[in-house]
A = this chain, B = another copy of it.
Amino acid sequence: MSNYTIIEPQTGTAFTIKKGQILTVSDPLGRQVSDMVLFNLQDKREKISAGKSMDFEETILLTKGNYLWSNRSRKMMEIIEDTNGRNDFLLAPCSPETFQIMYGNHEEHPSCLNNLRANLAEYGIGLDDIPTAFNIFMNVQFGPDGKLSVLPPTTVAGDRIRFRAEQDLIVCLTACSAEDSNGGTFKPIHYQVSDR
């Protein structure tokens, strides 16, 4: 992928894209996760919805051919390519409370939620308005009993997912901060916005 932008390990970024543009998110080294949230650029109260996306697409695992839907039951993006194939909407972005409550780690720890918050602040979007993210490349496993576990991503260097925007959008992306999501290694994420 040429002309990409680097999201450094354990950070995030926010930017806008126009309807019809293509967003490519790539894992340059392999085994890394990126959380993504979306807002309608013209009305930020319309945002990506995990429940609506699983409902309309009738699947937990979303890949090429699936759409990401908003809380107003409108399409926000189509997934047009996905070389890895494991993405979902189940678990909330890792947060300070994730590390405190689930891992007993009360020291300062970077998190996707804080990175989403920091980068969405410039768009006037606050913490309470951040929805469950689309978990790109996250390897969440679930059994018939519903029990959830997180394994390292199956991505290899260069794996990518491409989305076509169905609206003008604010996009916020992270390079995930949680040890559990990426096998204990913190890595960058690359992305690119293009017209086709």
Contacts and interface: CB of A to CB of B under 8 A. Distances in A.
A60 B51 CA distance: 13
B145 A61 contact: yes
Interface stretch (A15-23, A84-92, A154-162, A186-194): A84-92
Contact of A90 (B54, B91, B98): B54
Given A60-B90, A146-B61, A148-B59, A101 B73 contact: yes
Contact of A91 (B45, B54, B91, B145): B54
Each complex incorporates copies of this chain amounting to 2
A51 B142 contact: no
A179 interface: no
A contact face: mostly helix, strand, loop, or mixed: mixed
A35 B132 CA distance: 19
A46, A91, A145 interface centre (most CB from chain B within 10 Å): A91
A58 B88 contact: no
A196 interface: no
A84 to B, nearest CB: 14
A61, A91, A92 interface centre (most CB from chain B within 10 Å): A92
Interface string A42-75: 0001100111101110111100000000011100
Interface in A82-123: 88-93, 95, 97-98, 101-102
B128 A59 contact: no
5 contacts: A55-B91, A59-B147, A60-B146, A60-B148, A73-B95
